[in-house]
Amino acid sequence: MSQSPQSTFEFKATCPKSLEGILAGELTALGALETRESVGAVYFRGTLECGYRCCLWSRLANRILLILCEFQLESADELYAGVRAVEWREHLKGDGSFAIDFNGKAHWLNNTQFGVFRCKDAIVDYFRDTQNRRPDIEKNQPDIRLNVRVKKGSAQVALDLSGESLHRRGYRSKGGLAPLKENLAAAILLRADWPGMAARGGALIDPMCGSGTLLIEGAWMVMDIAPGLLRRRWGFDRWLGHEASLWERLREEAKERRSAGFDRQWPEIRGYDASASAVASAEENIERAGLRGRVRVLRKELSEFVKPTHAEISTGLILTNPPYGERLGDESSLVHLYRYLGDAFSRDFIGWRAGVFTGNPHLGKAMQWHSHQHYKMLNGSIESRLLLFDLSEGNRVQKRSSGDPGGDSPASALPLSAGARMFANRIVKNRKKLDKWLKKEGISCYRLYDADMPEYAVAVDRYEDWLMVSEYAAPATISDEKAEARLRDIMTALPGATGVPDKRIVLKQRRRQRGKEQYQRQQRSNQMITVREGQAKLLVNLQDYLDSGLFIDHRRVRLELAARAKGASFLNLFAYTGAATVQAAIAGAKWTTSVDLSPRYMQWARENLSLNGMSEARHHTIQADCVEWLEANDKGFDLILLDPPTFSNSKRTDTVLDTQRDHVRLIDLAIKSLNPDGLLIFSTNRRDFKLAGEVAQRYHLEDRTEWSLDMDVKRHGKPIHYCWFIRRKN
């Protein structure tokens, strides 16, 4: 190919769809002329130096193609002839090697492999006829790589100057579960105006950084480091038209600009991730990118995400790509992750800007911030969106109270019967008795009434601004009519006695039914309400099941676990919805494992963890039979909670669990998983439970039942549950 330094060529830069506009602007800044956008590509004219510069400096392109020819065709023979007409001796030695990337559709084209064969035959025949030599096909490292595209009756033949895709910068040794491609990360940074933020002295923080791609691309972008500088192989290295001296001059210029960048003041760039392997991968990539000491990553849960305090940072950009749902049900966990991220914005980052790149854009609403701008992009085959937020006070979504069904209704104005007045008086008395203690302890979920008057046999639990009324089975001597009348008294009295609107009072009513009918789901509202316990936020469902998802009577045990959990490993057996796990995790547990046979409860546990900014990197949830899991387990734990159901005959297992019969075996198995100085907390709600004497013979035992019952669940007669602290004997 004869050329002079001023000769211009036709080039094509390919890119992910939706990036054509910003790629055209980037190419123009690099010296491209006459840019023209197409789907997934930008055409332009320029000198060979311009083509080289685009290879070295484009942060957005996938490939830079030098177009060799274009021609019309209607058959495979015309494809052969058009390719055969190129002067291939200007590009490739007769004994060299080449590869062909072919794409396109035509009525005469059976498949792309047929197109490759026809093009290959044309090139081989050219050299055989003109030089009596034959080049080889080499897929992995050919001397030149060609790109042939057939569309709408025309063919385009181009030389791939890139070699492999330009998104492969040369610093990534490995990625996380689903790493962003580097050119997509660069596009996200540009759309979020990271260069502008950096120019204003702002920081860049990624709270879920994975393998660190956004951080590295952000650093290279603002410090003027060429994205192609680390690459060792290019598509033009053995191309006969290659101008080696020109290329080397451009590389030396890029090296000088990199050195100048290192001498300037760097912005604060840091990332966090809950996964130790992701952080290790990010650190390795940062090292390979030449950014050691310039970009920092730490292992942190999202729950630990706060504004850095080591230096005064008044503003910056939070930019992240949260995980996508990989398993059935994961999306419900992600809702709470997004909600927690939005809460973190409100707590520490007012005045900053934020960008969230997500394949689940509808979850952005959970952050409770108004997005001022969004961009559609493709992350591989996943339709994704970049949501941008200006974190000023006026852009926060005004939230109704958690779980609000659509507004308060006034307290019931129905006249109270004598029985209702009596019940209301008892509720008011109980409130006054508990009020001082509740305020002191900061408790918002508690038992307000527990069959204090035998004729009103219900439990009334308060979950912040909701009430759940659970009916106990009435004696056979009480008629259905009388039981219904008493329930009406209760439901009529509660709004006035508690100040809770009747729309937020949920009745769990047990009718006289046979078999398991009384335990079936009563509704399918799927309405989750967020409540607080200590430092934790927990999800409860007051309508769909007989139990809410949070056993109020075990509050003291959960908070004790939190007090002991820092730096400890914690095992939660028969974990239910994972409330105890969340308490341990927030308190700084080294790692936790929650085991339960129910997939619904394990999903609920993941949602509770996510709601508190915790990930499965350190907090594992396992759906399994606890006995079988303990028998196979070979890990040791510092803290174990063993709180089995009174009786279980799940259809998921052939075994039947009876806590009274099986508790010795359960304790023995749990102790095998307990570290030498560890603590096992064993608890049961079986009212007639008797601890076997052999447990005290084998282990050090403390009866903590009285201690474990807070004043709202202490009642005369048998305790609502039993609790023991169990340790190995020395």
Task: Give the pLDDT band of residue 110 (cuts 50, 70, 90).
Answer: confident
Lowest-pLDDT range of 633-637, 717-721, 724-728: 717-721
Give percent of the chain with pLDDT exceeding 70: 92
Task: Give the pLDDT band of residue 480 (cuts 50, 70, 90).
Answer: confident
pLDDT digits 0-9 by tens, 487-538: 889 998 999 999 999 889 999 875 444 333 333 444 456 788 999 999 999 9
Q: Map out the domains of the chain with their CATH numbers.
A: 9-160 (3.30.2130.30), 182-223+266-395 (3.40.50.150), 418-519 (3.30.750.80), 551-728 (3.40.50.150)
Task: Give the pLDDT band of residue 405 (cuts 50, 70, 90).
Answer: very low
Q: How high does pLDDT run on average in the chain?
A: 90
Sequence-distant (≥ 6) Cβ neighbours of residue 626 within 8 angstroms? 573, 574, 595, 596, 597, 644, 666
* Mean local confidence (pLDDT), 173-189: 81
Q: What is the pLDDT of residue 651?
A: 58
pLDDT digits 0-9 by tens, 189-243: 999 999 999 999 999 999 999 999 999 999 999 999 999 999 999 999 999 999 9
Q: What is the pLDDT of residue 3?
A: 62
- Residue 407 predicted with pLDDT over 60: no
pLDDT digits 0-9 by tens, 338-397: 989 999 999 999 999 999 999 888 889 889 999 999 999 988 888 899 999 999 999 999
C-alpha of 80 from chain center: 50
Residue predicted with more confidence, 484 or 584? 584
Q: What is the pLDDT of residue 524?
A: 57
pLDDT digits 0-9 by tens, 415-436: 688 889 999 999 999 999 999 9
Q: How far is the C-alpha of 275 from the C-alpha of 512, rounded, in Å?
A: 51
- Residue 76 predicted with pLDDT over 70: yes
Tokens in use for 614? 């915790």
- Residue 616 predicted with pLDDT over 60: yes
- Residue 649 predicted with pLDDT over 90: no
Q: How far is the C-alpha of 333 from the C-alpha of 326, rounded, in Å?
A: 11
- Residue 650 predicted with pLDDT over 70: no
* Mean local confidence (pLDDT), 150-165: 95
Q: What is the pLDDT of residue 525?
A: 62
* Mean local confidence (pLDDT), 5-23: 92
CA distances from 652 to 598, 625, 648, 659 (A): 8, 9, 11, 18
Task: Give the pLDDT band of residue 406 (cuts 50, 70, 90).
Answer: very low
pLDDT digits 0-9 by tens, 597-614: 999 999 999 999 999 999
Tell the residue number behind the tokens 């950096």, with chain if given.
Answer: 198
Render 55-91 in DSSP notation, one character per residue. HHH-SS-SEEEEEEEEEE-SSHHHHHHHHHTS-GGGT
Return the bridge partners of 679, or none: 639
Helix ranges (H only) for 590-692 are 599-611, 626-632, 659-672
* DSSP label at residue 297: E
Rg (CA), the chain: 34
Give percent of the chain with pLDDT exceeding 90: 77
- Residue 403 predicted with pLDDT over 80: no
Output the pTM of the full model: 0.80
pLDDT digits 0-9 by tens, 44-57: 999 999 999 999 99
Task: Give the pLDDT band of residue 273 (cuts 50, 70, 90).
Answer: very high
* Mean local confidence (pLDDT), 555-571: 97
* Mean local confidence (pLDDT), 443-458: 93
Q: What is the pLDDT of residue 410?
A: 37
Q: How far is the C-alpha of 404 from the C-alpha of 504, rounded, in Å?
A: 8
